[in-house]
Structure formats: structure tokens, C-alpha cells
């Protein structure tokens, strides 16, 4: 053991990846972090208690009547930050919430900025988290009151709204500070917190605040770390380096001046719904292939290096079937599923506004219908170019129908994709930390969905962003019985701590 220790210390800098892997795998013990890891274990009851107090406040940002509770939770966080010795705590008001709102004077919940340490010799890591939660009620089918943290000793998990999304991970950063203080270990970096209370409702006001603070409060930031997503599955830790974007469109087909009866007008007028179905049918085929010309050509080619990342990932078609509750997968091979979820675009048809959709057999001819669809975007798709291709495609498809109706296709909203370099200093530090805590190399994953604020941080602060998830894929973040396994809570905090140390030591930013 001593021999191994010597090697680890002497070769901690400047060894090749191969050597490093060999040294790391030669021992499961990480004496370097013994003290801090032990302290985190020792403080477990007080960490669970801190989480329980936070979970008790029903900070549902999407429910106007609960806005005072969101504010109350922000006050609880400020009190905790103060007691832990965070400084320069700023409660940033974001003004009134824009419509649609019932109360026109509804104030947005504040963003909480704070610092721990301000040593110019150290690197600065900005950590983002959100303290608001999704709605939840016992009557939705929860096994226990959602706003009371239940510790299930048998299953070794904690159940409660916000446990994994995102109160547990957010408090993880505070707990890591407390553990360093109580263990008497110098905190390796300057920490900046950016905690918002509106994430589940579109992060209103946050983008503007980040832009404003980029050259002020956030000026010294070297790296951003967001702990607000999940492992792909339930067993293997992951680091996330990419998210798809989303361009949302509608095709409006306008025909007669009012809805008509098919017994009177059927067969003698051009029906908007028929045109719409035909146009929408030209967008994508049943195998998921996008039929709009020029889209595939914009997708960045797969490199050898990227391809290798997929081979190692712990995932199978069974995981997909379990998640979808069916056997409807378009692909059987793991690599195909993951690539089509993460690195290729997809087009989904969502619905038709203005069409008859209820049960029964209504004989209406809708006068005006809007077909909604979206495209999940990936590198190197340019949003403007894509919109032009989509609009041209819809117009041409409609023209081919020779219909006297009117057709109009438009973009409703777009959010760009994000892809980081999984080999940069921040990811490398997080990978080492993960290995120290869980004993395995993390899978490098991307996600099919979007976290728009990730890109905002990267662009405004001109720093790298790391997504470091704490919970598992089956935590039920927006569902009933949201939970966080205790091992993920503890392991997650240890990973956060070790990440900060490794990142502080790394020669680059
Ligand atoms: Zn979240």
C-alpha cells in the first residue's frame, strides 16, 4: 500500500493517461480524500436534516399561489449560506413575471448569488442549481406526503419533491463547504453560487441576469458546474457533455371562413385538415428519417474518437423499452439508439390545433388548423438555415397539392444545442473524482433534451460548463415518488468535493 501511495503522489502530474489509469486502478483506496470523505460520511445526519427542512417548503414555481413559498425557500437558503460563512450574499430581484399571469404584479423569485472564498491565487468555480420544484400532491399517487422528506431505511433512499431535482444536489455544494470547514481542510477553489427559483417555469429572467453579471459578480469564473441532470441508468455514474437544441414549428392551413358540416360541404370544398395531414406526412417517415432536404447534410460527421465513447456506455435496448413501456424501439443496437437520441436530429409531430380530437364522431370540417412539430437539433445545424429549409419544404409540399387553401409555416421558438469537450480540464477532474468515489470510469453521455441555461453560461462567461449529475435515471424527477438514493447523495457530494480538488490542481482551466 505504501508503495502504491508513493507512486500516486510522485506521478500525480505529468504522467500519461495510460500510466494514470494503471496507477489509479492499482488501488481502490484514495487516501488523498480520506479525511474529507470521512467527514462527509460523519455529517450525513445533518445533511439529511438540512434537506428535510428545505423539502418541507413547497416551492412550486409554476403555481402562482405558492410564490410566497418559493421566496420562503430562498430565505432558508440565504440563512444556511450565512451560517456556513458564505460572503457577499446578494438576493437578486428579477422584477415582475411577464404574462400570461393571473396576478399582474407577481414578482419573480430571486436568484441567490454568494461566494465562498475570494483568493486570487485559486481558481473560481461557479455552481448553478435551482431551488424551485415541480408541482406535487399526495392525490397524484405519491406513497407519502410529497413535501415531507421520507427516509426509507430499507431501500436506502429519500423520497420527497425536490430530493433529486434539484434541492438535493444544490444543498450538496453547501454540505461540501461545511465538510471542509469541519475537517479543517482548506477549500481548494473560490466558489460562486447561482441559485434560481424559476427553473421549472422557464428560468424567466435568468438569462438577462447572467449577461449582466458576466463582467461583474461572475467575472473571475474559470469553470461552471451544473448538477441538475441524471445518470443514464441506475448503476453507472455519468458526466454529460452535450444537449440537443429544439426548433419548434407550426404549419397553419386556412380554408373556409368557419367550421363546416361534412354532410353539406364534404366533397365540394377543399378541406384544410386533408392538406395539413398531407404536408405533415412529408416531414418524416415511420423509421424516424427526416425527409426535409438539406437537414442531414448539416449534421457534423461522426469522428472515431466520438464513436469510441458510445461503445463503453452501459445501456441496452431493454433500458429503452423499460423507459417507454413498450417494444417500439426503431433500433436494436445500443450505439444506434444513443446516437439517434443524442447526436442526430429528430423530428416529432406533436399535435393539431383547431382539429376535432375528443371522443365520439363529430362530422365537422375544421376551417383552420395548425400542425405543430419540432426538430431536436445537433451540431452543426444552423437554426436560421434549418428554418428556411423547413418553410421551403412545407411551401413546396403544399404547392404540389394544388389546393385553393392558404398555407403558412413558421418557427414558434428555438433553443440551440450545446456540446462541450469531454477531455477538457473540468471534465478530466470530474472523471477522476468519479473514479475515486465509485471505483469506475464514468460514462460520457449527452442528453436528447435541452437545458438552455447551459449554453447561456458558456456563451456569456466564455468558460466551459460541466454537467455533473448526482441522481439516477429512475429518480422520477418530474413524476410521482421523486427520490434520491442515499448512496447517490453521499457519493454525489464526495464527487463534488474531489472534483473541486482535482480541478484546482489541474494546470489548465
Ligand atoms: Zn432540475
Q: Tens digits of per-residue pLDDT, 47-67?
A: 999 999 999 999 999 999 999
Q: Write down the pLDDT at residue 146.
A: 98
Q: Quick one: CA dihedral 11, 14, 15, 20, positive or negative? A: positive
Looking at domain 11-97+104-243+417-505, its CATH superfamily turns out to be Zn peptidases (3.40.630.10)
Q: Write down the pLDDT at residue 8.
A: 31
- Check if the beta carbon of residue 57 is closer than 8 Å to that of residue 69: yes
**pLDDT tens per residue, range 384-415:** 999 999 999 999 999 999 999 999 999 998 88
- Does residue 202 carry a pLDDT above 90? no
Q: For residue 463, what is its C-alpha cell?
A: 468558460
Residue 100: pLDDT band with limits 50, 70, 90: confident
Mind giving me the DSSP string for 18-43?
A: HHHHHHHHT-S--GGGHHHHHHHHHT
Q: Where along the chain do its domains lie?
A: 11-97+104-243+417-505, 245-300+343-415
Q: Write down the pLDDT at residue 399.
A: 98
Q: Where are the alpha helices (DSSP H) in 200-291?
A: 206-213, 262-265, 272-280
- Does residue 484 carry a pLDDT above 60? yes
**pLDDT tens per residue, range 269-284:** 999 999 999 999 999 9
- Check if the beta carbon of residue 218 is closer than 8 Å to that of residue 126: yes
CA dihedral 206, 209, 210, 212 (to 10 degrees): 160
- Does residue 24 carry a pLDDT above 70? no
Q: Which helix (H) or strand (E) holds 412?
A: strand 406-415
- Does residue 22 carry a pLDDT above 80? no
More confident position, 375 or 7: 375
- Check if the beta carbon of residue 280 is closer than 8 Å to that of residue 371: yes
**Cα atoms found within 13 Å of the Cα of residue 431, Cβ hemisphere only:** 20
Rounded CA separation 181/193 (Å): 17
The number of helix segments (H) and strand segments (E) in the chain equals 17, 18
Q: How far does residue 290's CA lie from ligand 1's centre (Å)? A: 30
Q: How far does residue 340's CA lie from ligand 1's centre (Å)? A: 24
- Does residue 303 carry a pLDDT above 80? yes
Known binding-site residues equal 130, 165, 200, 228, 261, 363, 376, 450, 478
Average pLDDT, the chain: 92
Q: How far does residue 285's CA lie from ligand 1's centre (Å)? A: 33
Closest by alpha carbon to 152, among 163, 141, 137, 140? 163
Mutual angle of helices 167-183 and 486-505, in 10-degree steps = 60
Residue 5: pLDDT band with limits 50, 70, 90: very low
Q: Write down the pLDDT at residue 241.
A: 96
Mean pLDDT of 225-246: 95
Rounded CA separation 36/40 (Å): 6
Q: Distance of alpha carbon 117 from its chain centroid, rounded?
A: 28
Cell 431551488 locates to 131
Q: Write down the pLDDT at residue 7.
A: 30
pTM: 0.85
How far is CA 273 from each of CA 165, 249, 268, rounded to the nearest angstrom?
A: 41, 17, 14
264 contact partners, CB below 8 Å, separation of at least 6: none
Q: How far does residue 287's CA lie from ligand 1's centre (Å)? A: 31
- Range from 113-122, 216-225, 301-310, 431-440 carrying the lowest mean pLDDT: 301-310
What is the DSSP secondary structure assignment for residue 415, as one 8-state letter? E
What is the DSSP secondary structure assignment for residue 301, as one 8-state letter? P
Mean pLDDT of 259-277: 98
Mutual angle of helices 383-399 and 272-280, in 10-degree steps = 130
Q: How far does residue 170's CA lie from ligand 1's centre (Å)? A: 10
Known binding-site residues for Mn(2+) equal 130, 165, 200, 228, 478
365 contact partners, CB below 8 Å, separation of at least 6: 256, 259, 260, 261, 262, 265, 266, 269, 271, 273
Rounded CA separation 162/147 (Å): 9
- Check if the beta carbon of residue 369 is closer than 8 Å to that of residue 276: yes
**pLDDT tens per residue, range 104-149:** 999 999 999 999 999 999 999 999 999 999 999 999 999 999 999 9
DSSP, collapsed to helix, strand or coil, labels residue 470 as coil
Residue 452: pLDDT band with limits 50, 70, 90: confident
Known binding-site residues for substrate equal 228, 261, 363, 376, 450, 478
Rounded CA separation 64/107 (Å): 10
Asked whether this chain's domains 11-97+104-243+417-505 and 245-300+343-415 adopt the same fold, the reply is: no
- Does residue 468 carry a pLDDT above 90? yes
42 contact partners, CB below 8 Å, separation of at least 6: none
Q: Write down the pLDDT at residue 2.
A: 32
Cell 428555438 locates to 414
Q: Write down the pLDDT at residue 20.
A: 38
Rounded CA separation 253/506 (Å): 57
Range from 232-236, 415-419, 464-468 that averages highest in pLDDT: 464-468
* CATH of region 245-300+343-415, choose from 3.40.50.300, 1.10.10.60, 3.30.70.360, 3.40.50.620: 3.30.70.360
Rounded CA separation 82/149 (Å): 24
Q: How far does residue 70's CA lie from ligand 1's centre (Å)? A: 15
- Does residue 30 carry a pLDDT above 80? no
Q: How far does residue 478's CA lie from ligand 1's centre (Å)? A: 9
- Does residue 325 carry a pLDDT above 90? no
Cell 424501439 locates to 329
Rounded CA separation 16/8 (Å): 13
Q: Write down the pLDDT at residue 324.
A: 87
- Check if the beta carbon of residue 276 is closer than 8 Å to that of residue 352: yes
Mean pLDDT of 184-189: 98
- Check if the beta carbon of residue 385 is closer than 8 Å to that of residue 298: yes
Residue 449: pLDDT band with limits 50, 70, 90: confident
Q: Write down the pLDDT at residue 217.
A: 98
Number of CB atoms found within 10 A of residue 383's CB: 17
Rounded CA separation 111/363 (Å): 52
More confident position, 226 or 3: 226
Residues annotated catalytic, as ranges? 132, 199
Q: For residue 286, what is its C-alpha cell?
A: 415511420
- Range from 80-84, 191-195, 362-366, 446-450 carrying the lowest mean pLDDT: 446-450
Amino acid at each position: 500500500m505504501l508503495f502504491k501511495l508513493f507512486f500516486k503522489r510522485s506521478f500525480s502530474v505529468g504522467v500519461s493517461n495510460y500510466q494514470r489509469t494503471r496507477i489509479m486502478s492499482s488501488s481502490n483506496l484514495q487516501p488523498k480524500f480520506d479525511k474529507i470523505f470521512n467527514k462527509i460520511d460523519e455529517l450525513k445526519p445533518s445533511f439529511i436534516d438540512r434537506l428535510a427542512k428545505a423539502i418541507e417548503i413547497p416551492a412550486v414555481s409554476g403555481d402562482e399561489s405558492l410564490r410566497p413559498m418559493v421566496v420562503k425557500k430562498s430565505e432558508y437558503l440565504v440563512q444556511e449560506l450565512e451560517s456556513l460563512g458564505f460572503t457577499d450574499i446578494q438576493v437578486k430581484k428579477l422584477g415582475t413575471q411577464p404574462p400570461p399571469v393571473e396576478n399582474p404584479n407577481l414578482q419573480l423569485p430571486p436568484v441567490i448569488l454568494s461566494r465562498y472564498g475570494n483568493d486570487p491565487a485559486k481558481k473560481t468555480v461557479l455552481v448553478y442549481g435551482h431551488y424551485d420544484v415541480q408541482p406535487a400532491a399526495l392525490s397524484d399517487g405519491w406513497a407519502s406526503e410529497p413535501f415531507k422528506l421520507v427516509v426509507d431505511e430499507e431501500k436506502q433512499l429519500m423520497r420527497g419533491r425536490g430530493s433529486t431535482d434539484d434541492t438535493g444536489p444544490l444543498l450538496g455544494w453547501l454540505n461540501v463547504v461545511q465538510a471542509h470547514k469541519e475537517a479543517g481542510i482548506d477549500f481548494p477553489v473560490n466558489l460562486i453560487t447561482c441559485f434560481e427559483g424559476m427553473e421549472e417555469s422557464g428560468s424567466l429572467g435568468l438569462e438577462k441576469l447572467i449577461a449582466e453579471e458576466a463582467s461583474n459578480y461572475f467575472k473571475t469564473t474559470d469553470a461552471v458546474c451544473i448538477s441538475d441532470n441524471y445518470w443514464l441508468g441506475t448503476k453507472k455514474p455519468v458526466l454529460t457533455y452535450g444537449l440537443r437544441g429544439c426548433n419548434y414549428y407550426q404549419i397553419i392551413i386556412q380554408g373556409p371562413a368557419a367550421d363546416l358540416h361534412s354532410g353539406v360541404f364534404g366533397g365540394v370544398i377543399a378541406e384544410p385538415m386533408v392538406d395539413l395531414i398531407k404536408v405533415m406526412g412529408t416531414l418524416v417517415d415511420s423509421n424516424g428519417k427526416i425527409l426535409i432536404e438539406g437537414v442531414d447534410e448539416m449534421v457534423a460527421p461522426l469522428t472515431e474518437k466520438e464513436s469510441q465513447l458510445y461503445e463503453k456506455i452501459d445501456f441496452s435496448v431493454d433500458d429503452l423499452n423499460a423507459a417507454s413501456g413498450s417494444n417500439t424501439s426503431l433500433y436494436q443496437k445500443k450505439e444506434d439508439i444513443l446516437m439517434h437520441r443524442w447526436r442526430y436530429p429528430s423530428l416529432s409531430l406533436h399535435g393539431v390545433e383547431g382539429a376535432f380530437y375528443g371522443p365520439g364522431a363529430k362530422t365537422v370540417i375544421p376551417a383552420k388548423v395548425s400542425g405543430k412539430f419540432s426538430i431536436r437539433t445537433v451540431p452543426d445545424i444552423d437554426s436560421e438555415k434549418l428554418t428556411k429549409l423547413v418553410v421551403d419544404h412545407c411551401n413546396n409540399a403544399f404547392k404540389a397539392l394544388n389546393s385553393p387553401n392558404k398555407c403558412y409555416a413558421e418557427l414558434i421558438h428555438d433553443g440551440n444545442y450545446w456540446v462541450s469537450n469531454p477531455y477538457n480540464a473540468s471534465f478530466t477532474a470530474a472523471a477522476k473524482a468519479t473514479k475515486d468515489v465509485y471505483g469506475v470510469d464514468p460514462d460520457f453521455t449527452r442528453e436528447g433534451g435541452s437545458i438552455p441555461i447551459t449554453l447561456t453560461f458558456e456563451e456569456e462567461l466564455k468558460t466551459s460548463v460541466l454537467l455533473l449529475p448526482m441522481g439516477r435515471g429512475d429518480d422520477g424527477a418530474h413524476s410521482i415518488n421523486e427520490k434520491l438514493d442515499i448512496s447517490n447523495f453521499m457519493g454525489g457530494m464526495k464527487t463534488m468535493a474531489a472534483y473541486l480538488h482535482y480541478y484546482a490542481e489541474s494546470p489548465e482551466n
